[in-house]
Amino acid sequence: MLLSIVSGLEESKSSPNDVNKKFTYLCRYLKSLSYDGIELSLLEPEKIDVKGIIELQNSYDMRISALGTGSTFIRFGYSLGDHREPIRKKAIERVEKYIEFARETQSKVIIGLIRGRYKHESNPQKERLNIISSLKECCSIAENSDVQLLFEPINRFEIDSYHTISESLKLIKEIGSSNLKLLIDSYHTHLEEDPVYIWEYLKEVVHYVGHIHLADTTRRAPGSGHFDFKTFLNILKTHGYSEFVSIETIMKPSFELVAKNSSEYLRQIL
C-alpha cells in the first residue's frame, strides 16, 4: 500500500508561486518521512499552475493521491443534491474543474461533502434523486477524461445521505460507471458500521474500493484512539488492495507532528 496525507494549498488566496513553494515544502518534508504522495484538499484547482505542480511532484517522486472537493459545499454552498437546479449545475461545474486537474496530475476526485445536506424546502427522497442524477453527469465527465471518482460514506452527524458502506455501494452499482469507486474512511466506519460484521463485510467489498482515509476514533492520528488499524489494513491488503491509504485527521498539535507520528505508526503495519 501507498501512504499519503491530506493538505491544502491555499490556492484561492495565494499566488501560483506561493502555492508552488508550499507544495515544494510538503513534498520535501513528507518524502523525508517515507510518504508516497499527498492528497490535496482544494477549493479552486483552476488557479493552480498545474504544470509547475507536476514538475515538482515528479522531481520528488511523489504522487497526488486524490483531490478533496468538500470545500465547494462548505465555502460556496454548491451541492449535487440541492433542490435548486442552478446550484446543482454549479456543483457539477466545480467537479469538472477538479476532474480537469485530476486528469493532468493522474489523481482521483472525491465525492463526499459536496453532495450536500437536506434543505427544509426539499425532502430526503428528492435530494437523493438529485444526487444520483448529478453524479451520473459527473461520471460522464470523468469517463471522458479517464478520471476515477471516489464516493465516500460519511457519518450521519456531518451529512444526511449515504452513511454506510452498503448504502454507498448500492448507489455505485446503480450508477453503473467503471469510473466510480468506493472510498472507505476508518473514522466513519467506526461510527456507522456494525462492529460484529464489518470485518467480514470488508472482505466482500475490497474490489470496489479505490481509496482509503485513515483517522482514529478520536479523529486524530492513527494510534491515538482504539480503532483496529492492523485488522482493517490487513484485510484490505490480503484481499488485493494496493493503492493509497491517506491520513485525514484533525491536524493537531501540528501538521508536521501528525504526519510524523502517523508514518511511524502505520509503517509498522503497512
The phi-psi region of residue 63 (left if phi > 0; otherwise alpha if psi is between -120 and 50; otherwise beta) is: beta
Give the separation between CA 6 and CA 74, rounded to whole angstroms: 17
Active site includes 248? yes
Q: What is the dihedral of CA 209, 217, 262, 244, to 10 degrees?
A: 10
Candidates 39, 192, 243, 248; catalytic one? 248
The answer to whether 247 and 262 have CB atoms below 8 angstroms apart is yes
Candidates 11, 39, 44, 152; catalytic one? 152
Give the separation between CA 30 and CA 204, rounded to whole angstroms: 33
The residue type of 16 is: P
Whole-Å CA distances, 100 to 11, 46, 71, 133, 178:
16, 8, 17, 21, 18
Whole-Å CA distances, 25 to 49, 56, 150, 257:
16, 10, 27, 15
The answer to whether 67 and 110 have CB atoms below 8 angstroms apart is yes
Which residues are catalytically annotated?
Answer: 152, 248
